[in-house]
Amino acid sequence: MKEFDWENNYCIICGTKNPDGLGVRFALSESGSEAQVTVGTSWQGFEGMVQGGIITGLLDDSMWYAIYGAHHLSTVTAEITVRFLLPVKILVPLIVEGHVVQYRRRLQVAGAKLIQAGQVCATAQGRFMPKPESAE
């Protein structure tokens, strides 16, 4: 499988090449991923709140990075389930954490949570499969 191309990463959440993206940097370990970010007004949904798709993107990326950090495998999301527990505020720092739940050759399961002001505001579980070579 081809190595992930970090130099041409245009991801809206973590891309180093996307001038309009969030530019989130994830710290990786064998037990998961973690990032701290403050979401600005460009990503607002209802007044003062981070838009739900951006929250989902943050959780999705944290799970992707957890799998990549633990198993050095580039994946694509097959399924994601998000639970929105509390509003996530713009301009207030947050932490997003991901971890691997189950690792198999063809399907990986991961979980994530988004924490703001010491409270879990959203959680996710996702199923990921190895990125097809044709996605290059």
For the chain, the structural domain boundaries read 6-135
- 49-107 pLDDT per residue, tens: 999 999 999 999 999 999 999 999 999 999 999 999 999 999 999 999 999 999 988 99
Residue 135 predicted with pLDDT over 60: no
DSSP letter for 1, please.
Answer: -
4 against 17, higher pLDDT: 17
CATH of segment(s) 6-135: 3.10.129.10
How far is the CA of 99 from the CAs of 18, 19, 54, 60, 67, in angstroms?
A: 25, 28, 19, 11, 7
Q: SS3 letters for 17-81? A: CCCCCCCCCCEEECCEEEEEECCCHHHECCCCEECHHHHHHHHHHHHHHHHHHHHCCCEEEEEEE
- 18-53 pLDDT per residue, tens: 999 999 999 998 889 999 999 999 999 999 999 999
